[in-house]
Chain A
Amino acid sequence: MADEALFLLLHNEMVSGVYKSAEQGEVENGRCITKLENMGFRVGQGLIERFTKDTARFKDELDIMKFICKDFWTTVFKKQIDNLRTNHQGIYVLQDNKFRLLTQMSAGKQYLEHASKYLAFTCGLIRGGLSNLGIKSIVTAEVSSMPACKLNSHFLNV
């Protein structure tokens, strides 16, 4: 019930907070993305536990990714992933054409250099969710034109 606006504001505040404390020299710059990703990881782990309490076992990895693209994404971002592609060998590319955390930022190339900061948390979210479903992965993001983004998950136990 906590309004979506609250989460958006909290997320943006977390991003700017982490970077401000980096400016004050307490933390090196590269660590900021890691911090945000780690926070997303914890949240992803917790969320996936709660969401999958009552669902049936997943048949295979593709099933898991479909769950992430549909149910998980809908609960978190109020929409589904627009496109899922895979090479059937452990690499999945999720495409969201109107990523909720970027829609307020720009519609195109402006501020592109800052987009990765706003995607770190979400990469962690996916990685954490997958981790609690037994999959070790690396999740990265690519943004070429806001608010669309591509999230690449690379499964490691395959």
Chain B
Amino acid sequence: SSELFTLTYGALVTQLCKDYENDEDVNKQLDKILFSPFLPRGYNIGVRLIEDFLARSNVGRCHDFRETADVIAKVAFKMYLGITPSITNWSPAGDEFSLILENNPLVDFVELPDNHSSLIYSNLLCGVLRGALEMVQMAVEAKFVQDTLKGDGVTEIRMRFIRRIEDNLPAGEE
């Protein structure tokens, strides 16, 4: 049931807020900053989730970022969170887009108290997206630009393609 996941995520964020005094550290805990001494929670989940996703969804290799965007919104989000975000705001170069979530299941029953106004509550999602895409050779950046918890009308995640990750072959192999 989705409530189990929502409530568990809430308990996790609450615990992290107790452990780390400022919201910035909690945000980092939820996502991951490269080389950060903090623990990469969302990222770790993403790295494993992609295997489950590929095994169950029968989706083939994506040829470009647009296809990737479609698969993320229409297949992955639907499979794991039961929602289908819309894809908008493509950059002219085709390397950035926004995912718009009308409602975010992670924040059912949640309100942000005033002393935690800079907490990016759903930051786990950004880590998951980054970790999962890295396993299919894409380095991306994901961040929240609008958040219904902060009073915005919708929740918007901005995805930016950084580069394709080439497999490094050991020296001597071609």
A positions within 8 Å CB-CB of B: 1-3, 5-7, 9-11, 13-14, 16-17, 20-21, 26-27, 35, 38-40, 42-43, 46-47, 50, 75-76, 121
Which of chain A's residues have a CB closer than 8 A to the CB of B148? Answer: none
Sampled A-B contacts (13; CB under 8 Å): A1-B2, A1-B82, A1-B105, A2-B4, A2-B81, A6-B5, A10-B124, A11-B8, A16-B44, A17-B39, A26-B19, A39-B11, A43-B7
- B contacts, CB < 8 Å to A: 1-12, 14-15, 19, 29, 39, 41, 44-45, 48-49, 52, 79-82, 105, 109, 124
Contact (Cβ within 8 A) B9 A10: yes
Report yes or no: A9 in contact with B8, Cβ–Cβ below 8 A.
no
Distance (whole angstroms) from the CB of A22 to the closest CB of chain B: 11
- Chain A residues with CB under 8 A of B79: 3
Given contacts A1-B2, A5-B52, A20-B39, contact A13 B44 (CB under 8 A): yes
Q: State whether A47 and B105 are in contact (beta carbons under 8 Å apart), knowing that A6-B49, A10-B45 are contacts in the complex.
A: no
Indicate if the CB atoms of B9 and A75 lie closer than 8 Å: no
CA distance A27 to B15 in the complex (A): 13
Residues of B within 8 A of A21 (CB): 19, 39
- Given the complex of chains A and B, what is the CA–CA distance between A11 and B39 in angstroms? 15
Identify which of A2, A39, A50, A76 contacts B82 (C-beta below 8 A).
A2
- Nearest chain B CB to A127's CB is how many angstroms away? 13
A10 to B82, CA, bound (A): 17
Known contacts A2-B6, A47-B4: A13-B45 contact under CB 8 Å: yes
Question: Closest CB of chain A to B79's CB: distance in Å?
Answer: 6
CB <8 Å contact, B80 and A6: yes
- Are A2 and B5 also in contact (CB < 8 A) when A39-B12, A42-B14 are? yes
CA of A43 to CA of B109, assembled, Å? 12
Bound-state Cα–Cα, A39 to B1, Å: 18
Rounded to whole angstroms, the CA-CA distance of A1 and B84 in the bound complex is 12
A residues near B19, Cβ cutoff 8 Å: 21, 26-27
C-alpha gap A10/B11 in the complex (Å): 11
Residues of A within 8 A of B11 (CB): 39-40, 42-43
Chain B residues with CB below 8 A from A17, complex form: 29, 39, 41
Using Cβ atoms and an 8 Å threshold, which residues of chain A touch B52?
Answer: 5, 9
Closest CB in chain A relative to B103 CB, distance in Å? 12
